[in-house]
Structure 1
Amino acid sequence: MKLTQTDVWRGVAILLVFFVLAWLPAVPGADGWLSIVVPITMYTVLATSWAIFSGPTHYVSLATAAFFGVGSYTLALGLDSVPYPLLLLMAAVLGGVMAALVGWATLRLSGVYFVIFTLGLAELIRQVFTWYQNNMGGTRGSYVFTDFTDAHIYWQLLALALLVYLVGWLINRSRLGFAIRIIGGDESVAKHSGINVAWSKIVLFMVSGSVAAVVGAILAPRFVYIEPAMAFNPQLSFMVVIMALLGGTQRLWGPLMGAIPFALVWEIIASNFPAQTTLLMGLAFLLVVFYIPNGISGVVLRWYHQARARQGVNHE
């Protein structure tokens, strides 16, 4: 894979942006808005990793909450006996293995069947954890006591976001990315072209599952107390899908444009209309699908190409 001069300058610009963002906790009064910035960063990572798989394949996965919950419980159950960095690695491995198993069993399904299965996965695992803790653990939840502040969690999520962007960029430039784009266009054509369709989809799904599990592990200290209903909350899966679709999945930076505005608006909705969140989430999903099918990034790219076209006409 050959790097162009544009790639190099783009990479330098991205690194500078992340470097500047890393200093955010040092800004006076940052403690107040870190409570909002941390969720935004979390949703950016989750939505971007979701789009890496679901964007090119067009398989809508609602399994984010399942992977997130497994990561949260990995940290909660192992914090007293296993070093923290190793727990993050374990969460990534468990998320990847679970995604591989789910992918092997379900990625031959398509359409509504895959969506229903991934939605039910979080509920299934939640019930398993609830049964285990009620009958074997003596308590339904687990405490997570660490010295981490919101700043520590933010830095970890920011580093993970940079890693996700790097992985997504490498995938897009690789043979796997090329194969996935063909699969998203027409699986029959991909099969006749000699592409291992099942393997390609499973590998990409494993990336998404591993990232979601690590995010769950990183966020666990912020919740202090982990219990199944919170760790495997299906609302998280729907939020990630809405944010990714709102931003657009055609470009790697698209989900970022959906995560920031939607997370800010959702904070207002959740604090002022807590009983109507499910209804408003469904309404938001309908509005995005019907009125911004290509997301904000799609609109921005269309305006950009129109401006370039007009500029070319003027030069002539």
Structure 2
Amino acid sequence: MKNLTFPIALAVLLAVLALVPVFIDEYGLGLAIGAMSYVALCSSWALFSGPTRYISLATVAFFGTGAYTVAILADYLPFYAILAVAALVGLITSLVVGLATLRLAGIYFVIFTFGLAEMVRQLLTWYEVNVTGTLGRYIFVEIKAYQIFYKLLAVAAVALVLRWWMDRGRLGLAVRAIGDDEMVARHAGVDVTRVKLILFSISSMLITLVGAIQAPRWTYVEPSIVFNPTISFLTLIMALLGGASRLWGPACGAVPLFFLFEWLSGRFPDHYSIILGLLFIGIVFLFPEGVLARVERLWKRLVRREECENSAKEVSNERLA
């Protein structure tokens, strides 16, 4: 039964979420799409960064790549074919980037991934202005809002299933060893570069798909919109809040923070970036391992205390007897 806990919980959750578009209005569906987008982003990001503890800020590079793939091909291919092309583009890009950079670690990897996203944005801006003669593109794709929601739900489900499957196998053992101590894992016989490249490629491909699925919602895209670094930082904050090393952690962090950020951006538009930075600092200091890890520790402490009290009662009863 323990092995079936996750599949049963996921099936029930998907069944419930599948009913969401039926019972909410258009505005509520827009919020649901935004929340599901970040659930998919955080779950996909955590596939690589969660177990390896490599903090990647390249999320928006792949997200924007997916969106621009739709913008470029929308007039030539059906939407599902475009999604397949976007996934392939994300996979190839991640393999090239991964082979060149996954030997970096720590702060060097963080800086590189942030620079990668900015480089892609600047290169695309230069190409649009100097080659095509325009800065943005219009997207005309006939797709309903509820269909976008279901596609994002499917990507999130795939990311969760992959994480669950990975944690139960040799790949999960290898990647946890890398996260604990990469040098020890290498000496123990783990092909560190290959394992990291596999996870980084899968994670980046799913993130690219999220950007491609979201693209028709904008109608008009340009580099400053789809390559906004805020997307990378929000994904990071949400995943860290829930707990990137936990299966359900990224999703648990994405939902409440998305609605909080929506409220803050509407009430404090001029101070939103400052508040975002303060929240990031607070989460890092207060919940370094995530909320789920803190809840698990508290639960274990309560269980241990209850066991000690029961043991003390039994000893006292034996003495009285």
The verdict on a shared fold, with TM-score over 0.5 as the criterion, is yes
CA displacement at 1:274 relative to structure 2? 1.8
Where do 1:137-152 residues align within 5 Å? 137-152=132-147
Partner of 2:319: none
Partner Cα separation in structure 2 for residue 197 and residue 177 of structure 1: 12
TM-score, length-scaled by structure 2? 0.93
Q: CA deviation at 1:9?
A: 4.1
Question: In the TM superposition, what whole-angstrom CA distance separates every residue of 1:92-151 from its partner, at most 9, and x where no partner exists?
Answer: 121122112111111111111111110011111111111111122221111111222321
Residue in structure 2 matched with residue 20 of structure 1 by the alignment: 16
> What are the equivalent positions in structure 2 for 1:182-193 lying under 5 Å apart?
182-193=177-188
Give SS of 1:274's match. Answer: coil
Unaligned runs of 5+ in 1: none
Task: Show the counterpart of 2:115.
Answer: 120
Distance in 1 separating the partners of 2:214 and 2:294: 33
Write out per-residue CA displacement over residues 194-223 of structure 1, whole angstroms, 9 at most, x where no aligned residue.
Answer: 111111111111111101100000000001
1:258-307: CA deviations, max 9, x gaps? 11111111001111222222222211111001111111111221122123
Give the conservation status (yes or no) of the 8 Å contact 1:24–1:30. Answer: no
**What are the superposed Cα offsets for residues 132-190 of structure 1, whole Å, 9 maximum, x if unpaired?**
11122221111111222321111111111111111111111221211111011111111
1:40 aligns with 2:11: no
Distance 1:115 1:85 in 2: 33
The one-letter amino acid of 1:160's match is V
2:124 to 125, 129, 144: 129
Tell me which amino acid in the other structure corresponds to 1:231.
V
Q: Distance in 2 between matches of 1:50 and 1:311?
A: 38
**What's the CA shift for 1:253?**
0.2
2:206 matches 1:224? no
Matched pairs, number? 311
Whichever residue aligns with residue 73 of structure 1, its letter is: Y
CA RMSD of aligned residues (A): 1.3
Gaps of 5+ in 2: 312-321
Q: What's the CA shift for 1:231?
A: 1.1
Whole-Å separation in 2 of the counterparts to 1:191 and 1:96: 25
Q: Secondary structure at the match of 1:17?
A: helix
Partner letter of residue 17 of structure 2? L
SS in 1 for 2:288: coil
Task: Return the letter of the residue paired with 1:139.
Answer: T
Provide runs of 4+ in structure 1 moved above 6 Å. Answer: none
The CA distance in 2 between the partners of 1:226 and 1:7, in whole Å, is: 44
AA aligned opposite 1:260:
V
Percent identity of paired positions between Structure 1 and Structure 2: 42
Distance in 1, Cα, partners of 2:80 & 2:306: 52
**1:34 Cα deviation after fit:** 1.4
Which residue is 2:77 aligned to? 82
1:291 aligned to 2:286?
A: yes
Cα distance in 2 for residues equivalent to 1:238 and 1:313: 43
